[in-house]
């Protein structure tokens, strides 16, 4: 039996688009045997090739890989209004306009698939939408940016500086020529907005996500973390806090027993916590054209076998700005009597409890590195502000969050 053609319009032919265009014909026979439809690219849109109108008219499904907000948003909305399924890897588009796009998909009875927008080949979207649709999710932790994970792994394993590790990531193709959105945390924040929306069934916009990057991480931070038995990752967190939710991205130290602590290189991983399942962790490659193209193709196959949709949200949960966290605190101080006592006093006034302290050096070259038990972030930073005014400090305090928990094997 001859499989019917399934026509795909491809918007964008960059790293991922080119990899997808190469992967699709390699897998076409297998897909045809499974679905009864043979996928084929019938048009490609670039700045110098094709028109959107021609591609739309000749397609059953549109794959959007041009990135950015416009014209991507207009193309996706037009495609769905014309009754076409859409697959996208555009996390910024979904983080800014997700509710509008999901509503359009429901209105026109088409599918909007976006697994590749979040964590490469890690199937976190499918798991949240389908496998755990009936679970009450309490928290999602994720390493959702392969570029920053590669950089931090390089710094920890080779002793490279941040600048040298970034240069190596660019040389290997894990980082763009302009890596700003990766290293400043914005890329991960967009992904966590999407994850939070699906995990908690409530609208979440990129503006709701507080984020910090890794640009200020130093070899000293990583060396002291090693002394304390910690590893350093850029972590995205979406969790329930009281009657609301907190969504944030920041560097964090993890103890060895945490399931994300051993995720290295350009790999991504997501841990989902729920009373019904305790904890599950999914991991896989998170950066690279072929890997992302594979996730895009998975979405294309899913869209070829309807139905599937992103339901309308039923909750309207407030976003909580202040959450609890443990902290690593690095202080450059003069070594003289009473220094640690004054620091401990200021931390104690804000309700902080010190878990561990490491002191290195003497005289004017002394350093104090400590880990503080979980407390409200606002109170911790209030204490740091007071500490920064002490006359024996020789530089600005550096603070990094710590995931102060481990899971039993």
* Same domain membership, residue 87 and residue 19: yes
* Same domain membership, residue 143 and residue 103: no
Tell me which DSSP letter residue 167 carries: H
State the Cα–Cα distance between residues 256 and 156, nearest whole angstrom: 14
Q: Identify the CATH number of the domain in which residue 89 sits.
A: 3.40.50.720
Q: Which of 191, 233, 355, 379 is an active site residue?
A: 191
Q: What is the pLDDT of residue 322?
A: 86
Which of 87, 117, 147 terminates a domain? The answer is: 117
State the Cα–Cα distance between residues 296 and 123, nearest whole angstrom: 11
* Same domain membership, residue 150 and residue 64: no
Domains identified in the chain, total number: 3
State the Cα–Cα distance between residues 153 and 158, nearest whole angstrom: 8
3-state secondary structure at position 110: coil
State the Cα–Cα distance between residues 121 and 111, nearest whole angstrom: 19
* Neighbouring residues of 308: CB distance < 8 A, sequence distance ≥ 6: 111, 113, 129, 302
- To the nearest 5 percent, what fractions of the chain are helix, strand and coil? 40, 25, 35
In a domain, 310, yes or no: no
Helix axes 186-200, 91-108, angle to 10 degrees: 30
Q: What is the pLDDT of residue 288?
A: 65
Structure-token pair, residue 61: 């499904």
β-strands 267-274, 278-285: how paired? antiparallel
Q: Identify the CATH number of the domain in which residue 331 sits.
A: 3.30.70.260
CB 269 within 8 A of CB 282: yes
Asked if residue 16 belongs to a known ligand binding site, the reply is yes
3-state secondary structure at position 135: coil
* Same domain membership, residue 252 and residue 141: yes
Asked if residue 85 belongs to a known ligand binding site, the reply is no
In a domain, 290, yes or no: no
* Same domain membership, residue 92 and residue 145: no
β-strands 244-255, 267-274: how paired? unpaired
Asked if residue 351 belongs to a known ligand binding site, the reply is no
Asked if residue 18 belongs to a known ligand binding site, the reply is yes
Q: Across the chain, which distance is largest between two alpha carbons, in Å?
A: 86
Residue-range definition of the domain harbouring residue 332: 324-407
Q: What is the pLDDT of residue 66?
A: 93
* Same domain membership, residue 155 and residue 87: no
Strand partners, 252: 233, 401
71 by Cβ neighbours in 10 Å (0-12 / 13-18 / 19+) ranks as middle
Asked if residue 205 belongs to a known ligand binding site, the reply is no
* Same domain membership, residue 274 and residue 197: yes
* Same domain membership, residue 268 and residue 163: yes
Q: Identify the CATH number of the domain in which residue 210 sits.
A: 3.30.360.10
In a domain, 221, yes or no: yes
pTM of the predicted structure, to 2 decimals:
0.77
Asked if residue 204 belongs to a known ligand binding site, the reply is no
* Same domain membership, residue 148 and residue 86: no
In a domain, 313, yes or no: no
Asked if residue 13 belongs to a known ligand binding site, the reply is yes
Which residue matches tokens 């980082």? 175
* Same domain membership, residue 280 and residue 146: yes
Which of 77, 94, 117 terminates a domain? The answer is: 117
Which of 231, 257, 285 terminates a domain? The answer is: 285
Q: What is the pLDDT of residue 102?
A: 92
Q: What is the pLDDT of residue 237?
A: 96
3-state secondary structure at position 291: helix
Asked if residue 12 belongs to a known ligand binding site, the reply is yes
CB 125 within 8 A of CB 118: yes
DSSP secondary structure letters along 240-279: EETTEEEEEEEEEEEETTSTTTT--TTEEEEEEEETTTEE
In a domain, 38, yes or no: yes
Q: What is the pLDDT of residue 207?
A: 93
3-state secondary structure at position 227: helix
In a domain, 297, yes or no: no
The verdict on whether 186 is a catalytic residue reads no
In a domain, 40, yes or no: yes
Phi–psi pair at 80, nearest 5 degrees: -70, -35
Q: Which residues of the chain have pLDDT under 50?
A: 407-409
* Same domain membership, residue 367 and residue 244: no
* Same domain membership, residue 82 and residue 46: yes
β-strands 112-113, 61-64: how paired? unpaired
CA-atom Rg of the chain in angstroms: 23
Tell me which DSSP letter residue 154 carries: H
State the Cα–Cα distance between residues 134 and 201, nearest whole angstrom: 11
In a domain, 271, yes or no: yes
């Amino acid at each position: 039996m001859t499989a019917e053609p399934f026509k795909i319009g491809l918007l964008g032919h960059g790293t991922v688009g080119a990899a997808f265009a190469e992967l699709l014909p390699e897998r076409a026979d297998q897909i045809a045997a499974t679905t009864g439809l043979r996928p084929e690219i019938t048009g490609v849109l670039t700045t110098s090739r094709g028109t959107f109108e021609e591609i739309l008219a000749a397609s059953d499904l549109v794959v959007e890989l041009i990135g950015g907000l416009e014209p991507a948003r207009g193309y996706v909305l037009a495609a769905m209004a014309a009754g076409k399924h859409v697959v996208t890897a555009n996390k910024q588009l979904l983080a800014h306009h997700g509710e509008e796009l999901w509503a359009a998909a429901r209105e026109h009875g088409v599918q909007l698939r976006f697994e590749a927008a979040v964590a490469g080949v890690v199937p976190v979207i499918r798991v949240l939408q389908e496998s755990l649709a009936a679970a009450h999710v309490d928290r999602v932790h994720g390493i959702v940016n392969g570029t920053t994970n590669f950089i931090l792994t390089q710094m920890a394993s080779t002793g490279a500086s941040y600048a040298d590790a970034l240069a190596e990531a660019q040389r290997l193709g894990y980082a763009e020529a302009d890596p700003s959105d990766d290293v400043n945390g914005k890329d991960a924040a967009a992904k966590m907005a999407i994850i939070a929306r699906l995990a908690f069934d409530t609208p979440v916009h990129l503006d709701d996500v507080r984020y910090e990057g890794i640009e200020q991480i130093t070899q000293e931070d990583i060396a002291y973390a090693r002394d304390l038995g910690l590893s350093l990752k850029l972590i995205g967190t979406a969790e329930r806090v009281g009657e609301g939710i907190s969504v944030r991205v920041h560097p964090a130290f993890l103890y060895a027993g945490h399931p994300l602590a051993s995720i290295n290189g350009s790999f991504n991983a997501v841990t989902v916590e729920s009373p019904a399942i305790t904890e599950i962790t999914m991991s896989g490659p998170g950066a690279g054209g072929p890997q992302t193209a594979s996730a895009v193709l998975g979405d294309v196959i899913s869209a070829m076998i309807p139905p599937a949709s992103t339901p309308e949200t039923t909750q309207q949960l407030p976003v909580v700005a202040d959450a609890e966290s443990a902290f690593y605190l690095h202080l450059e101080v003069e070594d003289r009597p009473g220094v640690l006592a004054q620091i401990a006093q200021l931390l104690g006034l804000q309700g902080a409890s010190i878990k561990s302290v490491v002191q290195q050096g003497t005289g004017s070259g002394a350093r104090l590195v400590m880990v503080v038990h979980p407390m409200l972030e606002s109170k911790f930073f209030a204490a740091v502000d007071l500490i920064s005014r002490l006359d024996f400090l020789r530089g600005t305090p550096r603070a990094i969050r710590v995931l102060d928990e481990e899971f039993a094997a």
